[in-house]
């Protein structure tokens, strides 16, 4: 009864897929660290929902694109809660633009958060997990990292880079029983898709064989499985949650 709860850090957990994943992991018994960059009030809402359902966690605000801050925060987590058991790299930004119109600062911000941020967090968590000889790292990439998408070359590059990075790190960490897997969501019902017109939604759904948008909970369910002992023999894999959009 006094056994320490396992600890999970979910980056970008104030809304969308990150929030749903944090809530699901808390339901599964994890102590969940809810990362956010600027929207503390939304992150607090997620924590309140977790606690209202009998779960536990705390806020963990930091910018994943700042490597020094990432190291500092995750060192602090280890001192307070012990080594991380699960890391879900979900934090990301999307700044759409055709290549010929792309601003350098938008390219830098996309790569800094979506790719380098995940690398920084993975590196810091891997040090803890390797010593513990246990852990699961789950990367939230995107279907466009596999298929590409016009107007999203920077985002696609970052998400594709995350796949290659994760396969390499999975090979490095496997002997220490640390697993690294990638989830590639397709069109998921979020605040962004809610703002689309009906005509836009219909055009998107024509590319999805199941003809429906996915939900953040669909992605969270897979993340929870990859965080669980049931996935102990799965590493280096890219798993789509896309309704058949990319096979």
DSSP-assigned beta bridge partners for residue 80: none
The DSSP H or E segment spanning 239 is strand 238-241
Nearest to 31 by CA among 62, 1, 7, 51: 7
Q: Which two tokens stand for residue 147?
A: 């298929």
Residue 155 known to be catalytic: yes
CB of 156 closer than 8 Å to CB of 113: no
Beta strands, E only, 110-226: 135-140, 178-185, 188-189, 214-215
Catalytic option among 36, 120, 155, 233? 155
Q: Are 159 and 116 in contact (CB under 8 A)?
A: no
Phi, psi of 14 (to 5 degrees): -80, -15
Active site residues: 155
């Amino acid at each position: 009864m006094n056994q320490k709860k396992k600890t999970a850090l979910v980056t970008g957990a104030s809304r969308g897929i990150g929030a749903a994943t944090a809530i699901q992991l808390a339901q599964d018994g994890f102590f969940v660290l809810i990362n956010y960059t600027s929207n503390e009030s939304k992150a607090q809402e997620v924590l309140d929902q977790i606690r209202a359902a009998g779960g536990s966690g705390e806020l963990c605000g930091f910018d994943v694109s700042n490597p020094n801050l990432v190291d500092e925060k995750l060192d602090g987590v280890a001192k307070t809660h012990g080594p991380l058991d699960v890391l879900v790299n979900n934090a990301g930004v999307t700044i759409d633009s055709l290549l010929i119109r792309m601003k350098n600062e938008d390219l830098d911000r996309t790569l800094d958060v979506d790719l380098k941020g995940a690398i920084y967090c993975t590196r810091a968590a891997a040090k803890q997990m390797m010593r513990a000889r246990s852990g699961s790292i789950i990367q939230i990439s995107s279907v466009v990292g596999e298929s590409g998408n016009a107007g999203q070359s920077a985002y696609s590059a970052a998400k594709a880079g995350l796949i290659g990075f994760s396969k390499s790190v999975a090979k490095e960490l496997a002997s220490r029983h640390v697993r690294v897997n990638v989830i590639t969501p397709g069109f998921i019902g979020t605040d962004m898709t809610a703002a689309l017109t009906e005509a836009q939604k219909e055009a998107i759904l024509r590319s999805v064989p199941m003809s429906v948008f996915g939900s953040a909970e669909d992605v969270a369910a897979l993340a929870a499985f990859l965080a669980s002992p049931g996935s102990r023999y799965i590493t280096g894999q890219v798993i789509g949650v896309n309704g058949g959009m990319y096979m």
